[in-house]
């Protein structure tokens, strides 16, 4: 989709395999070569939460009858150029409310659907810029192991953290997440190959 600066746009995501009345659905975007940026989340009853940075320009709605969630943006600028994703949260709204009312606003879905939005100029920024302590790329031989550390800017005992990977030219793939409580969740496809841990002393 191509729009010019100052225009509006609407992106619709049709979901399958779950009910919008049971799960939050998130919208996330990723400018080329940049980190993921959370936009907001919507529940089937219309309840919404937004990034403070983006809430004045983006609106989320959900239609349970058609299993669609819609992202509407207004006054778009070059910095809004990105691939936009919708993603289902791992836990149901009921389970989430039992865990904590301040659970992280991070995508935790094993299935993501994407659509691209192209503006005439390219720029990027992120809400949470986390620091990977390894180089930007690592080379390992087939059969070898590797460890990647991520230093975050929030308390890992207050928010959950998810790991996601993106093979070149392919969609995002959720690996797993660690909850604020320390509970672990993994993709069924990858749970035998990856493990996630944290250090609460250093975040």
Model pLDDT, residue 150 = 83
Dihedral sign for Cα atoms in the order 3, 87, 111, 172: positive
d(CA 150, CA 99): 24
Report mean pLDDT in 10-residue bins for the chain, 203 residues: 88 88 88 85 90 93 94 92 84 46 35 40 33 61 85 80 80 82 86 91 77
Q: What is the CA radius of gyration of the chain?
A: 17
Model pLDDT, residue 92 = 57
Q: What is the pTM of this model?
A: 0.58
Model pLDDT, residue 146 = 84
CA angle at residue 18 from 160 to 158, to 5 degrees?
10
- Three-state DSSP state, 80: helix
DSSP assignment of 22-35 equals TEEEEEEEE-TTS-
d(CA 123, CA 84): 15
Give the distance from CA 78 to its chain's centroid. Answer: 21
Report CA-CA distances (Å) from 158 to 55, 74, 155, 161: 22, 32, 5, 10
DSSP state of 86: E
């Amino acid at each position: 989709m191509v729009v010019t600066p100052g225009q509006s746009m609407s992106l619709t995501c049709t979901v399958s395999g779950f009910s919008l009345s049971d799960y939050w659905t998130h919208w996330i975007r990723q400018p080329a070569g940049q980190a993921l940026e959370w936009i907001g989340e919507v529940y089937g009853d219309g309840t919404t939460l937004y990034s403070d940075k983006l809430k004045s320009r983006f609106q989320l709605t959900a239609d349970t009858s058609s299993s669609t969630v819609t992202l509407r943006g207004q006054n778009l600028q070059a910095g809004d150029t990105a691939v936009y994703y919708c993603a289902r949260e791992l836990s149901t709204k009921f389970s989430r409310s039992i865990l904590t009312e301040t659970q992280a606003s991070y995508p935790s879905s094993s299935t993501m659907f994407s659509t691209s939005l192209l503006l005439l100029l390219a720029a990027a920024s992120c809400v949470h810029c986390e620091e990977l302590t390894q180089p930007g790329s690592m080379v390992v031989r087939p059969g070898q192991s590797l460890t990647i550390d991520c230093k975050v800017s929030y308390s890992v005992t207050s928010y959950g953290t998810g790991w996601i990977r993106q093979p070149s030219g392919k969609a995002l793939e959720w690996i797993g997440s660690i909850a604020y409580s320390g509970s672990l969740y993994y993709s069924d496809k990858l749970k035998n190959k990856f493990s996630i841990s944290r250090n609460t002393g250093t975040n």
